[in-house]
Structure 1
Amino acid sequence: MTPRSLSATVAVGSVVGVVPAIGVTTLLSTALAARFRLNIAATVLVSYLVQPLQLLLAIPFIRLGISFFGLGELRLTLDEMQLMFQEDWLEAISKLWMANLAGIAAWAVISVPSGAGLYFILLPLLQRVLPKAEPAGAEAATLEL
């Protein structure tokens, strides 16, 4: 892999791996890797490796989405969610569904700039670390000598 493609693969996999919707990372990373002609297996692997961050960042994305769209205060502590479900479980599901959609929207807004930033941070590092590709004829000329 070239430094450019590896940098893009890591950036796409990292950004997709933290989407605050459990169960969509494989499909989304496969689709994006196929669309941009990246290594699909490597992109999915990177998205799996960063999935612990998905759990850590879900609540901050949801809170950010709630503030972006002015959905009001939603309490997300375990006790308060249990109380919401005990009082009216249909309303609790509705509120949590809207909160999760707001979190996904906040992720979508942040994902493009953070993915681009990660790409441009990784590119010079990978250009130094990865071996330089030789031209196709250089190996044959070396063997003939």
Structure 2
Amino acid sequence: MSILVAISDFIKRRLIQPMLNLLRQGMTPRSLAATVATGTVVGIIPAIGITTFLGTAIAARFRLNIAATVLVSYLVQPLQLVLAIPFIRLGISMFGLGELRLTLAEMQVMFKTDWLDALNNLWLANLAGIAAWAMLAIPSGFILYFVLVPILKQVLPKPKLIVTPVSDISATDVSPTL
């Protein structure tokens, strides 16, 4: 039972608490939706190792929360592994690279016969997968953004307005400028 408690504590410390801290920073529903959509789309690119750089660059360019964008991209990285082969297969079919094989047995034969040619073919297949991802990234990012905005408007706390009574403003606070 202590293993479950340790896992629960880890999830609370490493996932839930950082997300709650980001929500408490005063992000608007639109900026949080843009951050989550960007982090999600960047996090599933079928190229391992570039999500942090790409997420940081995009978040900086569009003035999103960089830490939240990178955090979301890390949280969706299991999807990156699951979706890599479908993106690569889609890219192969889109660009007519039907001669590329992706079964384990065929890749082993490719590496045994000519490993440089195998690396070249796999590199080409990965580039095709990245191209397929790139064509789907922007439309899916917009769809995710527009789905998240109304949800986050319901979930996030409403900003509190601070109203100053008129009697607290003195005549010296308002002076005409000449």
Task: Output the TM-score relative to the length of structure 1.
Answer: 0.92
How far apart, CA to CA, are the structure 2 residues paired with 1:133 and 1:112? 30
3-state SS of 2:89 partner: helix
Count of aligned pairs: 140
Match of 2:122 among 93, 96, 118: 96
Q: CA deviation at 1:126?
A: 0.3
2:135 matched to which residue of 1? 109
Q: Which amino acid aligns with 1:96?
A: L
Deviations 1:79-137 (A, max 9, x none): 211110001111101110000000000000000000000000000000111112234x4
Sequence identity percentage: 72
1:125 matched to which residue of 2? 151
How far apart, CA to CA, are the structure 1 residues paired with 2:159 and 2:31? 13
Q: Which runs of 5+ in 1 are unaligned?
A: none
1:65 maps onto 2:91 in alignment: yes
Q: CA deviation at 1:7?
A: 0.2
How far apart, CA to CA, are the structure 2 residues paired with 1:21 and 1:40? 20
Q: Which amino acid aligns with 1:114?
A: S
User: Highest Rg: 1 or 2?
Assistant: 2
4+ long deviations beyond 3 Å: none
Q: Which amino acid aligns with 2:89?
A: R
Higher helix proportion: 1
How far apart, CA to CA, are the structure 1 residues paired with 2:145 and 2:160? 24
Deviations 1:31-82 (A, max 9, x none): 0000010000000000000000000000000000011111123221222111
Task: Output the TM-score relative to the length of structure 2.
Answer: 0.76
What does 1:1-145 align with in structure 2 at a 5 Å threshold? Answer: 1-135=27-161, 137-138=162-163, 140-141=164-165
Q: Which runs of 5+ in 2 are unaligned?
A: 1-26, 169-178
